[in-house]
Amino acid sequence: MAGIDSAVSLPPHTAVPPHPAAVPPRPAASPPAPPSQAADALLQDRLAGWVSDLTLLHELTESLIRTGSLDDALRELLRAGAALVGARRGMAVLEPADGLGPTSTVGLGLAHAELGTIETVPRSVTSYGRILDGLDALPEGSLPRPIAIPDLRDEEGLDPRLREVAARLGYAASYALPLATEKAGRLGAVVWLYDEPAEPAERQRHLVQLYGRFATEHLGRLLEVERARAQVATVAEELLPSRLPRIPGVQLAARHRTGPRGGGDWYDALPLPEGALGLAVGSVTGSGPSALAAMGRLRASLRAYAVMEGEDPVAVLSDLELLLRLTEPARSATALFAFCEPQARRIVLAGAGHAPPLIIGDQRTEYVETSLSAPLGMLSCWEAPSVELSPRPGETVLLYTDGLLRRTGDPMDRAFARLHAAAAGVPKADRADPGAVADHVLRTVLPEGLEGPDADGEDVVLLAARFE
């Protein structure tokens, strides 16, 4: 079976004898079964037991494979392992031995406060701590072994604090399993807790160790993915502005959520001569490092064009179109650039394949009517007329990328309606703060976990400008 080490020998296994009341009494005159038939029956029982065990492991590993995050995998590991060893509660600690993280602690049947109580015990005296810190003397190159404490009340040499916490939380025995393989290394440990003195039987230990090996390899793959995502997110954040400029007459706020694959959505805000301000959002096709590199080049180029001819957004995007066609003919991008004069509350903007901005105020919530245009890189000669608008005092202009709409999973018309409803529902007390406006829109448009940085989907960028 995939994921199960067939080189590990299976322990002796016999079927559980049926309850006597369920079996009719054997006639007294019946002769005993021949030895060959008894041996065949025993062999069939063992084969049936092995098939049952393999079927169970297959079902459990299938459930584990479907998990897509480290915490979900740890919870599934706890649940499946508890069923295998006959426990009700437990905790899993992810702590890679290389020290590069991430770290996580997940409980089964334990509240957050109860996990904290367990962690007050000196780590060196706990079974999971001995595994994580390698405190048990082992031959060089060997992996940690499981640790069973059948009775925490009578076990000799236990720390008094460990006994006290066990009594307070109501568990009497524990079985700790290292999450370690030769390929993945030591990633963490999991410990299951028994309400009464108990210890897994030989068959239970064998099954949970097989399952633990597979789970460790799966956790190792998820760990690599998680680290790659974190690196991509760090690079993306470094390519975006570290802070927004302070310009009289306007307040700015930005929100950026990186997708799991690392897309090319970006934003920018740069001071221009005579108190003007340039605002830009955009998205590059593709994902991963190449999209991030293209996004960085495009954003840097737009900044240069904005300084040279920012008063004409059409010229800025036309120059960007030419650059993209010459340097990256296989890639396309969307962009929106707005030239703002905050003191006069005047905005001139143009977009290339980009979603229209949204004006949010006490008297109105409406999309800005912009001309339809193909994305950058899609036409041999691109040009679309610019649009001029004048926000009223206290109104916020919200720029965003398509990722905000696509993460909803709705058709685009419904996604636009959802965004409009979210903007119209911003509480009056929050409308004086562009950051609060952006946060409300994110929470409302992307509920149920879709808002977080680790949610599945594309990048999301919001840039809010409130005019005084």
User: Could you tell me if 221 and 355 lie in one domain?
Assistant: no
User: Could you tell me if 268 and 169 lie in one domain?
Assistant: no
CA 230 to CA 242: how far, in whole Å?
18
User: Could you tell me if 245 and 225 lie in one domain?
Assistant: no
Indicate whether 44 belongs to any domain. Answer: no
Q: How many structural domains comprise the chain?
A: 2
360 touches 398 (CB < 8 A): yes
Indicate whether 165 belongs to any domain. Answer: yes
Neighbours of 62 (CB within 10 A): 11
- Across 46-184, where does the E strand assignment appear? 89-94, 104-108, 147-149, 173-181
Residue 423's CATH number: 3.60.40.10
384 touches 336 (CB < 8 A): no
Please tell me the predicted confidence (pLDDT) of residue 126: 94
pLDDT digits (tens, 9 = 90+) for 352-380: 888 999 999 999 999 998 876 788 887 65
Indicate whether 35 belongs to any domain. Answer: no
pLDDT digits (tens, 9 = 90+) for 206-262: 999 999 999 999 999 999 988 887 887 777 777 788 899 999 999 999 999 877 666
User: Could you tell me if 397 and 265 lie in one domain?
Assistant: yes
pLDDT digits (tens, 9 = 90+) for 166-176: 999 999 999 99
CA 427 to CA 363: how far, in whole Å?
13
User: Could you tell me if 259 and 207 lie in one domain?
Assistant: no
CA 298 to CA 290: how far, in whole Å?
12
Please tell me the predicted confidence (pLDDT) of residue 31: 57
Indicate whether 33 belongs to any domain. Answer: no
pLDDT digits (tens, 9 = 90+) for 106-146: 999 999 999 999 999 999 999 999 999 987 767 766 889 99
pLDDT digits (tens, 9 = 90+) for 51-99: 888 899 999 999 999 998 999 999 999 999 999 999 999 999 999 999 9
Among 203, 231, 259, give the residue marking a domain's end: 231
| Terminal Cα distance for the chain, rounded | 67
User: Could you tell me if 382 and 292 lie in one domain?
Assistant: yes
Distance of CA 36 to the CA centre of its chain: 58
Indicate whether 157 belongs to any domain. Answer: yes
Please tell me the predicted confidence (pLDDT) of residue 50: 82
Take residue 354 and report the two structure tokens written for it. Answer: 């980009």
Neighbours of 102 (CB within 10 A): 13
CA 29 to CA 49: how far, in whole Å?
31
Among 178, 202, 231, give the residue marking a domain's end: 231
DSSP for 328-361, please give it. -TT--EEEEEEEEEGGGTEEEEEEES-PPPEEE-
Q: In what order do the strands lie in the sheet with 396-400?
A: 250-257, 460-467, 396-400, 358-360, 365-367
Instruction: Kindly state the DSSP code that residue 117 receives in the 8-state scheme.
Output: H
Q: Which residue has the tokens 């590199």?
A: 293
Confidence band, pLDDT 50/70/90 cuts, at residue 9: very low
CA 389 to CA 465: how far, in whole Å?
14
Q: In what order do the strands lie in the sheet with 346-352?
A: 264-272, 276-284, 333-341, 346-352, 387-389
Confidence band, pLDDT 50/70/90 cuts, at residue 25: very low
Which of these, 263, 266, 265, 267, lies nearest to 286 by C-alpha position?
263
Neighbouring-strand partners of residue 358: 367, 398
pTM attached to this predicted model: 0.66
User: Could you tell me if 137 and 260 lie in one domain?
Assistant: no
Please tell me the predicted confidence (pLDDT) of residue 7: 39
User: Could you tell me if 307 and 338 lie in one domain?
Assistant: yes
> Rg (Cα) of the chain, in Å, rounded?
31
Range of the domain at 163: 51-231
Among 214, 231, 248, give the residue marking a domain's end: 231
Number of residues assigned to the chain? 468
pLDDT digits (tens, 9 = 90+) for 187-200: 999 999 999 999 99
User: Could you tell me if 360 and 449 lie in one domain?
Assistant: yes
User: Could you tell me if 341 and 411 lie in one domain?
Assistant: yes
User: Could you tell me if 181 and 268 lie in one domain?
Assistant: no
Indicate whether 10 belongs to any domain. Answer: no
Residue 129's CATH number: 3.30.450.40
User: Could you tell me if 369 and 438 lie in one domain?
Assistant: yes
Indicate whether 8 belongs to any domain. Answer: no
Indicate whether 308 belongs to any domain. Answer: yes
